[in-house]
Structure 1
Amino acid sequence: MSAEAVKPNIASQVNHLLAQMTLEEKVGQMTQVDFTVIGKPEERHAENPIDQAKLEDAVLRRHVGSIMNTPYTPNNQAQPIATWRRMQETIQAAAARSRLKIPVLYGIDAIHGATYTQNATLFPQAISMAATFNPDLSFKAGEITAREIRASGLLWNFSPVMDIGRQPLWPRLWETYGEDVHLATVMGTRFIEGHQGADFSAADKGLTCLKHYVGYSLPFNGKDRTPAFIGERMLREYFLPTFAAGIKAGAPTVMVNSSEVDGIPGHANRHYLTTVLRDELGFKGFTVSDWQDIQRLYTRDRLAASEKEAVKIAVMAGVDMSMVPFDFSFYDILLELAKSGEVPIARIDEAVGRILTVKYQAGLFNTPKAPIPVEGNFAAPAATATNRQAAHEAIILAKNENHLLPLKKDANILVTGPTANLLSVLNGGWTITWQGDAEHLYPKDKSTVLAALKKQSTGKVTYVGGDRFDDPIDSEKVVAEAKHHDVILLCLGEKPYTETPGNIPSLELDPEQQALADAVLATGKPVILLTFGGRPRIITKVTEKAAAVLLGFLPGMEGGEAAADILYGAYNPDAKLPITYPRDTNAITPYDYKPIESFEQNTYDPLYPFGHGLSYTTFETSQLKVDKPRIGFNENINVSVDVTNTGKIAGKETVLVYLNDVAASVTRPNKQLKAFKKVALEPGETQHLNFTLTPDDLSFIGLDFKRLVEPGDFTVMVGNQSVKFTVSPS
């Protein structure tokens, strides 16, 4: 059910309910609190950790419209399904005793599966899902995630992240679908469609939340929640289209940018929150603040002279619900502002009407039904199989010198490095706990890379490394052991993190890891580099000497098995980079660079470019054509190309269609991805592919900040081929 198509009966019900509500009840609906506000800290492991008195104070006295997050076990860890269900029953039972019986909307971060439910299906993180270039897998991940949170009794998912990741230092890069607008649009949209279906009130569907609107993902210094300096044209060209697509796909909620763009904090930016989001993009759902960010307009940003002024600024800018989250300060202050007339009742009614509309759309006012059965809907074999396939398609083969890979099953392998024997490094943050680093909580039936190799090997697999990421590794022992092995698997990368705890000053590898790599490479044995982590750490010196390179990023709970399958050839790798992999820590240039970035002394020279990814077979594209040499401003143009598997084994290839506007009134990128398709090909097989480019694909943000198509020449590029066409007035 789209948030843009409010049914007349829902609008009538909302208006009828609004007319009955007191000011206190309205302001309560705009208030969202963390679980700690209603929880029992002394019974944090209880089957139902809710403090009934605190719950009734929140729901019956303060009328809160939303609660979020997990019970406060250490680091907010995942709960059993039974606990989640009891919690939701208890909360909604309290709401049912309120005067108007308005249900509570519970929110959770289920960003790569039902993150906070024990033993859920946890997919590759978004950056790795993007590496699959497989929209159908993104759709299925959305379906399965929704089904598993609904089996847990939950409904509202703070996902997907529709920011695009163009600053590799940013510790939330891995929560994005990469650096490209089109790729992020397609993958994010398909996730929403799978998660919500045609009607997100269905028993196995759930609400999504687009985040973090808008411009959050390009902090100048790379640190989380720090300023972005993005001009209006760039914001409209690169950062708004993904959100526009998410709104069109029916996402009913939007979470606001925690930081600031061009000096204006996201929660105070009426231009973006109202003029653009509402008037231009047509969003009809409700906006929710991020964690404590309305208060921070005063405590951090110094935009407001008091917390009271901060609340006024945010609400009047267009924030409908406040993730307060630890108290009722927002409720108390907004009530005072409304009573004094500083915030008009009309603005309160507007916000509450939006919130109630989404609650009606979600079916929360309907007669409560039991959650869908666990059997067949939670961690089902089919879901695990889909997850395994996603992990297979997410791991990028970046180098394979002299066809070292795949290995024979009887190869003697020395495994070393801090990411070889941990599940946490495959998953990253928002996994079981917020930071994802509680290795002891990970399921015992899932395999690390080391464990998966040992299961498949018929040769000798020896491990030299620590039990934890930061344990020292004895390089001398590694070198001594290397003599008795055919090949060395060097596993490097990052420990899990998200948000500000993941801030780093440099993309350089830890000195300890670089030293281990130097020792391993000096043995003269063939070295396979396998990396895991949320961002591209600088591995240039290692890759120069390594015989093979696999870039794992965050392939999820099945990532260990998938990596072993690729190493042994049980799966032919087919992933491609969704970002540009930099050669040096400050060499940050995205693939769609401007002409000036590759002119005279300036060069685009990444370690691996966007779209790079090898296979154990080879592919060739040919016969690139457009259906006509000249089109009008409002016409489509059809592109066709053949792709052939020229190797000896079956494999999948993603055909990427790029476009360049040869000359324009605003400088245009050297190329931009406009279409892609992944196809499976048998040896010698050729497929003929067709793509349609629309006027929107040919457009850009012009001098007046409006989208337009200008006359002139365009170049279509696929593989090493290109073809031109011209746009002219009809």
Structure 2
Amino acid sequence: MNKVLQNKSIQQKVDDLLSKMTLEQKIGQMTQADRMTCSPEEAKQYHLGSILSSAGSCPDDNSPKGWVEMNDAYWQASTDQDTQHLGIPILYGLDAIHGNNNVKGATIFPHNIGLGAANNPKLIKRIAEITSKEVLATGVDWAFAPNLAVARDYHWGRSYESYAEVPSLVTLYSNKMIDGLQGNLSQDNILACAKHWVGDGGTQYGVDQGDTILNWDELQATHIQPYKAAIKAGVLSIMVSFSSWNGDKCHAHEFLLVDTLKQKMAFDGILISDMQGIDYLEDDFYLAVAQGVNAGIDMFMVPRNWPLFIENLLSHIALGTVSISRIDDAVRRILSVKYAFGLFDKPRPALRKWSNHASFGSEEHRQVARKAVRKSLVLLKNNNILPLSKNARILVAGKNAHNLGHQCGGFTITWQGVSGNDEIEGGTSIWQGIKQVATKAQLSVNGDGIEATPEMHDVALVVIGETPYAEGMGDIRGNDKVITESGAQIHGQVKVLRASGDSLELNKLYPEDLQTIKNISSKGVPVIAILVSGRPLIIEPELDRSSAFIAAWLPGSEGQGVSDVLFGDYDFTGKLSFSWPQLSQPKVNKGDKNYNPLFPYGFGLTYS
């Protein structure tokens, strides 16, 4: 546990710096702007404490070199001292949630839902260590990870960011992720940020940014537990959830933010808002600013309207609607973390030992990601057809067979992810991994498998499933009544994004998948289905027509991990960390009174 507020050495430095700061400099430290709306010169002018790259926000040269040059400019601007500026170094943050996923050429790991199925804490720590090095290679100090959501409804578009539907595994991983990212807070590490506090995975109907309706004991038992482990592991920042608890928005919830997190749980670090998280507290942004600050948030992710945030907060202090003691508390936390992290002692990004490091996207890192893929795969069905012979005549079909963008999913290069192979540099598609070891494999020309024939093909591998999405745009909503009912109880505005579908049934979301399976199985060629998806889906028709079925989740850039297991070089070890729904019970969690999943929590077949 990092008790930075009790560290006398750190607090002496903070006291000294605080005594020199003007009100404008203090408010600047509480402000985080996006690189697209704030130049290095503006960051210096307004004394900003942090800059972020929102998902997809990257320099024109989206390589470690381009990122280092950009960060170096912000760093030099922020540390330039003169009569008006104290030279406080800036913290640069980004979403590195399955590797440094914004940057071309990075190692992209499986999304969390797959890592949950791997159930391998040692591997999780190693992934975090590699992620920290690939973030450092770009000159960045802060990753908005890990996500500690306990997802309870597959309709939620962020289900793949959750390790499990139960808190025990999320809690175990929390410790390992933070230890791997932050280490001993040296120049070999980055700052972690546990998110989203609290209950984001438990919203009614799985509506993103919706309402989690639970009593206090239930909230503690399911959603708060992972944060206890995070604080014990020394996490130095926590991000507030967009969601509400029993109608009250977390961003304005003093009981959750101060009474519980800061006081009862003794969290000493930075409490940061989600992106534009305070914007929806009130119709009037001016009032929302005071609510967020008074509720206990220390740093505000205001990517576009940061000048207005500064102006409004100055006004509130002048009017007395926000106290100077609250400002000092927030700034003390921010400066304490910067000192604890050694930020004041770091050289500029261009001169750091990990900047532009050759290990970025290296073979060593990719081999760990490949291992993570094979550990995450869950075998749901096998009618004695697997493992395959490397000499078999294999037809490889399906829209996700040769598509790196699809297998990486959302939060890859851009916010909503990409399609195709052009944007993911250095990776291997599932098809490419198969072709490397099975020389007689053939890729279906149009992906629909119509060329299947028993005379030419012994078996078909059909890679099906979802296409990329992120956050609320991945929600599944049957109708608008879900939003109306969920939002009616929320105090404040409700942000609604277009959903990705209206049913958890794979055949309704992507009818082409079942058609591809039929095209092949109707010819007498047995099908092995590989599902690429960010959540369990209702798959009975596809499962029934397949001789084997594999849940591959969103495996990331290293598709060879799939072929490693298909041909028996490694056995399946993955076990479901989410109960698998069926048509009669589309929402199901371990411990439910009438628990009747298609496959239970912990299920997973093996060759042995």
Fold in common (TM above 0.5): yes
Moved more, 255-264 or 64-73: 64-73
Name 2:466's counterpart in structure 1.
494
Name 1:103's counterpart in structure 2.
89
Query: Is contact 1:158–1:209 with CA below 8 Å preserved after alignment?
Result: yes
Structure 1 residue 84 displacement after superposition: 1.1
Name 1:344's counterpart in structure 2.
323
- Of 13, 18, 40 in structure 2, the residue corresponding to residue 55 of structure 1 is 40
Q: Deviations over 1:418-445 (max 9, x none)?
A: 1111011221111122111143543454
Name 2:16's counterpart in structure 1.
16
Query: Is contact 1:215–1:230 with CA below 8 Å preserved after alignment?
Result: no
Structure 1 residue 70 displacement after superposition: 5.9
Change (3 A) 1:158 1:72: closer
Structure 1 residue 59 displacement after superposition: 2.1
Give the letter aligned to residue 606 of structure 2: S
Change (3 A) 1:3 1:489: farther
Query: Is contact 2:405–2:424 with CA below 8 Å preserved after alignment?
Result: no
Q: Aligned equivalents of 1:105 and 1:184: distance in 2? A: 27
Change (3 A) 1:3 1:170: farther
Q: Deviations over 1:669-692 (max 9, x none)?
A: xxxxxxxxxxxxxxxxxxxxxxxx
Give the letter aligned to residue 99 of structure 2: G
Query: Is contact 2:59–2:66 with CA below 8 Å preserved after alignment?
Result: no
Structure 1 residue 6 displacement after superposition: 4.6
Structure 1 residue 295 displacement after superposition: 1.6
Query: Is contact 1:396–1:576 with CA below 8 Å preserved after alignment?
Result: yes
Query: Is contact 1:130–1:178 with CA below 8 Å preserved after alignment?
Result: yes
Give the letter aligned to residue 364 of structure 2: A
Name 2:106's counterpart in structure 1.
120
Change (3 A) 1:175 1:76: farther
Give the letter aligned to residue 442 of structure 1: E
Name 1:324's counterpart in structure 2.
302
Q: Residues 279-294 of structure 1: matches in 2 within 5 Å?
A: 279-294=263-278
Secondary structure of 2:196's counterpart equals strand
Name 2:601's counterpart in structure 1.
610
Secondary structure of 1:250's counterpart equals coil
Change (3 A) 1:491 1:71: closer
Secondary structure of 1:137's counterpart equals helix
Q: Aligned equivalents of 1:612 and 1:151: distance in 2? A: 39
Secondary structure of 1:436's counterpart equals coil
Q: Residues 211-250 of structure 1: matches in 2 within 5 Å?
A: 211-250=195-234
Q: Aligned equivalents of 1:151 and 1:20: distance in 2? A: 34
Q: Aligned equivalents of 1:429 and 1:143: distance in 2? A: 22
Structure 1 residue 329 displacement after superposition: 1.2
Q: Aligned equivalents of 1:353 and 1:67: distance in 2? A: 19
Query: Is contact 1:70–1:78 with CA below 8 Å preserved after alignment?
Result: no
Structure 1 residue 251 displacement after superposition: 0.8
Q: Is 1:393 aligned to 2:375, yes or no?
A: yes
Q: Residues 628-667 of structure 1: matches in 2 within 5 Å?
A: none
Change (3 A) 1:575 1:71: closer
Q: Looking at CA atoms only, which structure, 1 or 2, has the larger radius of gyration?
A: 1
Name 1:308's counterpart in structure 2.
286
Query: Is contact 2:403–2:419 with CA below 8 Å preserved after alignment?
Result: no
Q: Aligned equivalents of 2:546 and 2:254: distance in 1? A: 52
Secondary structure of 1:221's counterpart equals helix
Name 2:177's counterpart in structure 1.
191
Secondary structure of 1:342's counterpart equals coil
Secondary structure of 2:275's counterpart equals coil
Tell me the TM-score normalised to structure 1 length: 0.76
Q: Is 1:454 aligned to 2:453, yes or no?
A: no
Name 1:573's counterpart in structure 2.
572
Change (3 A) 1:367 1:180: closer
Change (3 A) 1:445 1:268: closer
Structure 1 residue 565 displacement after superposition: 1.5
Name 2:483's counterpart in structure 1.
none
Change (3 A) 1:319 1:71: closer
Q: Residues 46-445 of structure 1: matches in 2 within 5 Å?
A: 54-60=39-45, 62-69=46-53, 79-98=62-81, 99-197=85-183, 199-200=184-185, 202-299=186-283, 306-327=284-305, 328-368=307-347, 370-373=351-354, 374-401=356-383, 403-445=384-426
Which runs of 5 or more structure 1 residues have no equivalent in the other structure? 39-53, 300-305, 467-472, 599-603, 618-730
Query: Is contact 1:35–1:71 with CA below 8 Å preserved after alignment?
Result: no
Q: Aligned equivalents of 2:154 and 2:4: distance in 1? A: 34
Q: Deviations over 1:212-235 (max 9, x none)?
A: 100111221223222222221210
Change (3 A) 1:400 1:438: closer
Structure 1 residue 380 displacement after superposition: 3.0
Residue identity over aligned pairs, in percent, reads: 36
Q: Aligned equivalents of 1:270 and 1:76: distance in 2? A: 37
Name 2:481's counterpart in structure 1.
none
Moved more, 451-460 or 565-574: 451-460
Give the letter aligned to residue 601 of structure 2: F
Structure 1 residue 247 displacement after superposition: 1.1
Q: Aligned equivalents of 2:142 and 2:443: distance in 1? A: 45
Structure 1 residue 464 displacement after superposition: 4.1
Give the CA RMSD over aligned residues. 2.0
Structure 1 residue 376 displacement after superposition: 4.9
Structure 1 residue 583 displacement after superposition: 1.2
Change (3 A) 1:210 1:94: same
Moved more, 359-368 or 204-213: 359-368
Q: Aligned equivalents of 2:256 and 2:37: distance in 1? A: 31
Structure 1 residue 516 displacement after superposition: 2.9
Give the letter aligned to residue 347 of structure 1: R
Query: Is contact 2:55–2:94 with CA below 8 Å preserved after alignment?
Result: no
Tell me the TM-score normalised to structure 2 length: 0.90
Structure 1 residue 296 displacement after superposition: 1.5
Change (3 A) 1:363 1:438: farther
Query: Is contact 1:482–1:488 with CA below 8 Å preserved after alignment?
Result: no
Query: Is contact 1:526–1:546 with CA below 8 Å preserved after alignment?
Result: yes
Change (3 A) 1:249 1:577: same
Q: Residues 460-499 of structure 1: matches in 2 within 5 Å?
A: 460-466=441-447, 473=448, 477-478=450-451, 480-481=452-453, 484-499=456-471
Give the letter aligned to residue 507 of structure 1: L
Name 1:523's counterpart in structure 2.
523
Secondary structure of 2:181's counterpart equals helix
Q: Aligned equivalents of 1:550 and 1:86: distance in 2? A: 43
Change (3 A) 1:55 1:585: farther
Change (3 A) 1:81 1:27: same
Q: Aligned equivalents of 2:203 and 2:13: distance in 1? A: 43
Name 2:488's counterpart in structure 1.
none
Q: Aligned equivalents of 1:332 and 1:310: distance in 2? A: 13
Structure 1 residue 57 displacement after superposition: 2.5
Structure 1 residue 512 displacement after superposition: 2.6
Q: Deviations over 1:79-112 (max 9, x none)?
A: 2111111111111111122421111111111111
Change (3 A) 1:226 1:308: same
Structure 1 residue 393 displacement after superposition: 0.5
Q: Aligned equivalents of 2:473 and 2:125: distance in 1? A: 31
Structure 1 residue 129 displacement after superposition: 1.1
Structure 1 residue 71 displacement after superposition: 9.6
Structure 1 residue 78 displacement after superposition: 8.0
The higher relative CO (CA closer than 8 Å, separation ≥ 6) is in: 2
Q: Deviations over 1:237-275 (max 9, x none)?
A: 100001111111111101111121210011011111111
Q: Aligned equivalents of 1:76 and 1:434: distance in 2? A: 15
Which runs of 5 or more structure 2 residues have no equivalent in the other structure? 477-501
Query: Is contact 1:446–1:557 with CA below 8 Å preserved after alignment?
Result: yes
Secondary structure of 2:211's counterpart equals coil
